[in-house]
Structure 1
């Protein structure tokens, strides 16, 4: 693993079902920069099969980037550490979303910064421009959630005492993290101090937690660094990072989203169609109770 000041650390979290989107995200980072050999991808993964890991290894073979696998089975990252946090019960999400809260325990001590990326993201600009950005002394840099009122207030915009709708609310799918500052924060401890026990269940998982724990400590990035739920008309904004945060994902066979063809070619046609078939088989097995 690179331990020099030239390394650009990027972290992703995913389970085996999202190996191909993780590949596409990493490949987009590599394609968009001339500093490919400086890239160090930290892959916080769960249940990754040898065959899918081989697909991911192709990133190193094609671009010379470094891949560091962090298998989470058998660690306390998704065990006791999150036992007091709301259990993730939706089909779209998994308890692995909490792993990003604790990446400081997995990355090397000499890593000063890390860029966290969701796996439904493609990068369209040199990632070092984000990695080396002035954070104005804040711990995290992120983009506001466009629908922050709904995200913070839920149905009927009912105020959640721990999250004020009068304050900025940030999306956690793209973040630049100052690890030296981040390591000093007891995230679960601060959360439990700030949120009454009877309100913990209202949290929108890790994203609410980040907004509560790091309130007033998040540097706001321009929205082009995390263009969320992008439609084709949004291509006119020339986004730097595209985040398919809505329900329609670019790995659908005919997705009506921005840069759909670019996404397919980034994943590569071969893997794109193999992943599509994988998802069809998986959905069929679920429908008949076989998975």
Structure 2
């Protein structure tokens, strides 16, 4: 590793998201000059040996470092995932990012968390090196934040959230580990669970907005372009975040260009992995329906 400080990046995913995790990592590598400084912290669960091999191959193409964290072996994660409200769409892997300060090594002072439904197309070093100006984290305002927190007619949870407060999307968060640790995120989660707040809010993202209220740096929208559509291509986004129903790994999304940079995404994932992931998703789709039958 070079004498320049490492760029620490954390991803959390389960076995059904191994290919998008690979695409996110590869996009980071492709669009930075500081490839040799990249350290990927891969927090995973239910990862099959074959998919582990696919992910590890990133180090054959680029001079990056990989650190693996098997969440299935983490008593802390298993306990949290078992007790906290279940995220049926994303699974309780979402809670893993709350404990990054406890999972990562003590030498990590700053880490960039990225969701695995992202495509990076600008130099990640420019984001990682941003001056946090004394804040614990940096993030991008969520364009749907008021609705996420307030729900229909923006009436829900008014005793918890104020729609006038800026609300960030937690898919990309630049973290000062020491300040994150001082905030006692897991302790705040446990308190919210005891008081019934966790049962009412939008999982970890709402919790992080409560914990870091007025203690986060608002970044330009380019660094987390939410619900990335085809029209965003002309605006030169730095990170595409595919939060909508259509994903860039969908065959028809790629053919019809319904999401931003769909064709680029396919080749970042690589054609071989893209079509293998498509077959994997079809198998899962049929298995779910056969079980229902």
Give TM-score, length-normalised by structure 1. 0.94
Q: Using the TM superposition, give the Cα deviation of residue 182 of structure 1 relative to its aligned residue in structure 2, in angstroms.
A: 1.1
Q: Distance in 1 between matches of 2:170 and 2:291?
A: 33
Whether the 8 Å CA contact 1:115–1:131 is kept in 2: the answer is yes
Q: Using the TM superposition, give the Cα deviation of residue 184 of structure 1 relative to its aligned residue in structure 2, in angstroms.
A: 1.7
Whether the 8 Å CA contact 1:3–1:111 is kept in 2: the answer is no
Question: Hey, which of these two has a bigger chunk of helix by percent?
Answer: 2
User: What SS does the corresponding residue of 1:86 show, helix, strand or coil?
Assistant: coil
Q: Distance in 1 between matches of 2:229 and 2:81?
A: 35
Match of 2:27 in 1: 28
Unaligned runs of 5+ in 2: none
For the pair 1:42 / 2:41, whether they are aligned, the reply is yes
For the pair 1:128 / 2:125, whether they are aligned, the reply is yes
Whether the 8 Å CA contact 1:78–1:95 is kept in 2: the answer is no
Correspondences of 1:247-286 after superposition (within 5 Å): 247-255=245-253, 256-286=258-288
Correspondences of 1:93-172 after superposition (within 5 Å): 93-160=90-157, 161-172=159-170
Whether the 8 Å CA contact 1:9–1:42 is kept in 2: the answer is yes
Q: Deviation string for 1:170-223 (max 9, x for gaps)?
A: 000011001121122221333455687233311111100100011111110000
Correspondences of 1:62-73 after superposition (within 5 Å): 62-73=61-72
Structure 1 residues 237, 83: CA separation in 2 closer, same or farther (over 3 Å shift)? same
Q: 1:182 aligns with which of 180, 183, 186?
A: 180
| CA RMSD across the alignment | 1.9
User: What SS does the corresponding residue of 1:198 show, helix, strand or coil?
Assistant: coil
Structure 1 residues 185, 54: CA separation in 2 closer, same or farther (over 3 Å shift)? same
Whether the 8 Å CA contact 2:99–2:186 is kept in 1: the answer is no
Structure 1 residues 195, 217: CA separation in 2 closer, same or farther (over 3 Å shift)? farther
- Of stretches 235-244 and 74-83 in structure 1, the one that deviates more from structure 2 is 74-83
Unaligned runs of 5+ in 1: none
